[in-house]
Amino acid sequence: MTQPVVESPQAAPSDRQKAAGPDGLRGAGGDQDPCAIEVRDLEMRYGSYVVMRGINFTVKRGEVMVIMGGSGCGKSTLLKYMIGLRPVQKGEILYDGQSFSKASPEEKERMQRNFGVLYQAGALWSSMTLAENVALPLEQYTRLGQQEIQEIVSVKLALVGLKGFEEFYPAEISGGMRKRAGLARAMALDPAFLFFDEPSAGLDPLSSRRLDDLILRLRDSLGTTIVVVTHELASIFTIADNSIFLDADTKRMIAQGNPKDLVQEGHSHPKVRDFLLRGELSHERKGSHEPKS
């Protein structure tokens, strides 16, 4: 598989200025407030069923925030609220100090153009080549000419290690390459915010590690603020600057912090440590109650 290739950070500002287009969207850089995302007292529900309540956290600019928790706790649902796929009925979500959840439909759409999203399966159009997939948001949301779009597409695909695969279709490449192509499309408009939903799902360990390395390079070279939903412990400890833990039993967020700190004894709820230690605490407690021969 092709190794990821990262363009020099100096190339990023000019691409960001090109892709901003008439809307004047901000890129990842700038001298804004260090708090990029704020979630206040958010309640998540499906009809009358409450998934989570009282969620409060902030994400600093240029930080990788990981949303973790057991299966069915609402990790992907929280991501849907954050990108506007589900309406906020209670609570508030802010980007750069501006309310996203209370914005008008027009303003919300403008803010969403500064989001890049990588879905679990990549969500590429199967009838389009990789180049056409990456070009799609540029054609829809900017006034760039075809030559400029082709240049940006080439840069984005090279950034994720897919230089030379422009004319390939999604079915002709591996699952890990499809994930990276989806990431290239998510970065097409040089968004300030990137959202990943289970990026390592279905990948072999080496492909998963390469994707983790790419996420860190994007943070370090472009200053992108990144939110990742995952339950993969190797990825959590590798990429997370900060994290939150959603507990399905209490329907609450019961921890926030760097996973390397949360795993230490006395630094977080036992459920969080148990999760981060692959259930070793539960195994130890069970063993301590077994009768000795």
User: What is the amino acid identity at position 231?
Assistant: H
- The CATH superfamily label for domain 9-19+29-288 reads P-loop containing nucleotide triphosphate hydrolases (3.40.50.300)
This prediction has a pTM of 0.81
More confident position, 188 or 280 = 188
Local confidence band at 62 (pLDDT 50, 70, 90 cut-offs) = very high
Percent of the chain with pLDDT over 70: 83
pLDDT score recorded for residue 268: 82
Domain positions in the chain: 9-19+29-288
pLDDT 10s digits, 213-252: 989 998 998 889 999 999 889 999 999 999 999 999 999 9
CA 255 from chain centre, in angstroms, equals 19
Rounded (5°) CA angle 140-142-144? 115
Nearest to 4 by CA among 122, 179, 171, 167: 179
DSSP state of 22: G
Q: How many CB atoms lie within 10 A of CB 275?
A: 24
Say if residue 23's pLDDT is above 80: no
pLDDT score recorded for residue 290: 53
DSSP state of 171: G
What tokens appear for 4 in the block? 């990821």
pLDDT 10s digits, 187-219: 999 999 999 998 888 778 888 888 899 899 989
What tokens appear for 194 in the block? 């990137």
DSSP alpha helices (H): ranges in 142-251? 146-159, 175-186, 205-222, 233-239
